Chain A
Amino acid sequence: MALPASVREEPTRAQAALTEPPVIDLHGLSVSFGRRPILKNLRGDLRGKAIGLLGPNGAGKTTLIHTLLGFHAPSAGTAQIFGMDIINQTKQIRSLIGYMPERDSFIAKMSAVHFVRLMGELSGLPSEAALERAHEALFYVGLGEARYRRLETYSLGMKQLAKLAQAIVHGPRLIFLDEPTNGLDPPARLRMIKLIREIRDSGHAHIVLSSHLLLDVEECCDEILILKDGEIAVYCNLEEERKSNRKFLMLETRGDQEKFVKAIQQLGCEYAVSGDHRLKIVLQEGVEVRDLYRLAEEQQVQLRRLSYKRDSLEDIFLRAMENGYGGL
């Protein structure tokens, strides 16, 4: 019996995704400022629709984006974006990229529509097309009514949206968003997150989202790259990472916890004591919750609370900061 078209199509799409050049391909990329190494021998290919770039302050997130944009020259190695080299094909790459910088950036004495139009024209759009798309981009990000106002008069949230509008006006294939929710109040942050997800779901552009806010990345990204001291600590697919054996039990106990822990150890389960009466347990195959109840009864320990948990991005991040296991 023939498979339905949709099912038959799946492997083809997956194969196509693998044969296509990766969004970003890192070939031992290193960047130094003077004698200070900032990025150290980064390797791997990033293929996600939305890639979250995480790391503590000074980990090299912004430097990585700037290097990919051609602002800093690599001290060793190179990288490719859509198969194009960042050293030799900077202009071609830049025509496919939109960039929303972290810092407050705008051109003074200009209305938002004039600003976004100018940015569109510099990206290669003819004047009329740039004007048309500037209006559309500003409406899209929610600044339609304020588009004739000068940028200096904008609030911080509005300036962030204007920066997003200039990053997407030319319809880039890859958008770098550097801390897009910085300084936004909760409603403005939600709006920004919604826009990023919409762009991601449109399927027309890949997104690299650099943030130190885990929640932002968790809400928008399907892959994460965690940098630590200029090195890749983790690169993983967020959903797969969650699905893999990261399901664990959170227990709250009363009684002789030491004995109970030993008994769990004998069962062959991984555990971690987190707090006075709290335990994190990863159940091994063949071990069930009823075994824990039995052990508790034997050790005369009360189980006050028992809940299933999955690894959150915070757990992955914290573990990366402790170990840096490198997912690539």
Chain B
Amino acid sequence: MAVYEQAYKPYKGILTPEWNRFLILPRHTLRGVFNSKLFTAFYVICFLPLLVEAVLIYLHHNVTALAIMNLNARQLIPIDGSFFQTFVVVQGAFAFIVALLVGPPLVSRDLRNNALPLYLCRPFSRTEYVMGKMSVLLILLSWITWVPQLLMFLFQSYLEGFAWLKGNLWIASSIIISGLVWILLLALLSQTISALVKWRIVASGVMLGMVIIPSAFAGIVNVLFQTRWANIISLSGLMYNVTAGLFGTFDRVSGRIQISDFDDNVVREVLLLEPPLWCSWAALFIFSAVCLAILHWKVKAYEVVR
């Protein structure tokens, strides 16, 4: 079917393997995403905390620099699990914003323009479609979350020595697991909302609401009932607990309320207990299962009217 021949001819060349065809979607989508200069600029900004992190790690090991700045190594934040957890949380917030910008139109645009039959009439399954669309976010978010954090960990290991690396390998696994859980959740959430809401702005609003409203509601319930159990409905609360659990900083007692009498004598102390870790993991698992069920229901070539 050459341009000059203007005739229909079959394709007789080689075909690509089927197992990695879902990666075609992120390749084409990411090209479009980075066409926006504004987004590209924001994506660059996402790396600034990592720069700060790198500088802090470097300062810990550079006596000359510390002397110039008149600082003692002890005055700096210690580089341990908490140090990496802080930056994981910061990068997680940036990841949320990136997911908010990129995620909502991914499926909704195809649904609005009836593009699903075009994908699914090919040797390309619904699962591959969802995997392809999710990979767009997974790739984008990986580059600003667990991948650079892991590089920072290696940087610290390089400066500190093999013994430190050996003793702190659990930090690396915590970085990877917490990063993957968070970006998977964000990808699932944004794809699900995108499959339910056809309009980008509305979808972005819903996604923002899905994170903020349950957190605010949980906050109110926690205050009213003097508990922390309402965090079970807050995605950010759940994720914070899971991350803390992975970095070994989780404490079920997240606060205490002292009840006093009229003479300011403490009558009773109420411990504010966070839900146990397994509850947070279970809640995240249920949330993911619901998202997958919705995607399974919505991502179809055609809606069947029964």
Binding site for B on A (CB under 8 A): 33-34, 36, 66, 69, 71-72, 91-92, 94-95, 97, 99, 101, 103-110, 114, 118-119, 121-126, 129, 133, 135-137, 139-140, 144, 166, 168, 170-173, 198-199, 202, 204-205
Which residue of the partner chain, among B11, B121, B305, contacts A99 with CB atoms under 8 Å? B121
Contact with A along B13-31 (1 / 0, CB 8 A): 1111010010010001000
Top-7 shortest CB links A-B = A34-B306, A171-B10, A171-B11, A124-B15, A99-B121, A105-B114, A71-B301
Residue of B nearest to A32 (CB): B306
| Number of CB contacts from chain A to chain B under 8 A | 129
- Indicate whether B41 reaches chain A with its CB closer than 8 angstroms: no
| Stretch in B1-9, B50-58, B247-255, B286-294 touching the partner | B1-9
Residue of A nearest to B7 (CB): A202
Binding site for A on B (CB under 8 A): 1-3, 6-16, 18, 21, 24, 28, 32, 109-110, 112-115, 117-125, 300-302, 304-306
Cα separation A119 to B117 with both chains bound (whole Å): 11
Which residue of the partner chain, among B120, B301, B304, contacts A33 with CB atoms under 8 Å? B304
Give the residues in chain B near A144, CB-CB below 8 Å. 3
Give the residues in chain B near A107, CB-CB below 8 Å. 109-110, 113, 115, 118
State the main secondary structure of chain B at its contact with A.
Answer: loop
Give the residues in chain A near B125, CB-CB below 8 Å. 91
Cα separation A94 to B117 with both chains bound (whole Å): 12
B13→A126 contact, CB < 8 A: yes
Cα separation A92 to B305 with both chains bound (whole Å): 28
Cα separation A205 to B8 with both chains bound (whole Å): 9
A124→B1 contact, CB < 8 A: no
Residue of B nearest to A118 (CB): B28
A33→B1 contact, CB < 8 A: no
B73 to chain A minimum Cβ distance, whole angstroms, is 52
B121→A171 contact, CB < 8 A: no
Cα separation A205 to B9 with both chains bound (whole Å): 9
Give the residues in chain A near B300, CB-CB below 8 Å. 71
Residue of A nearest to B129 (CB): A122
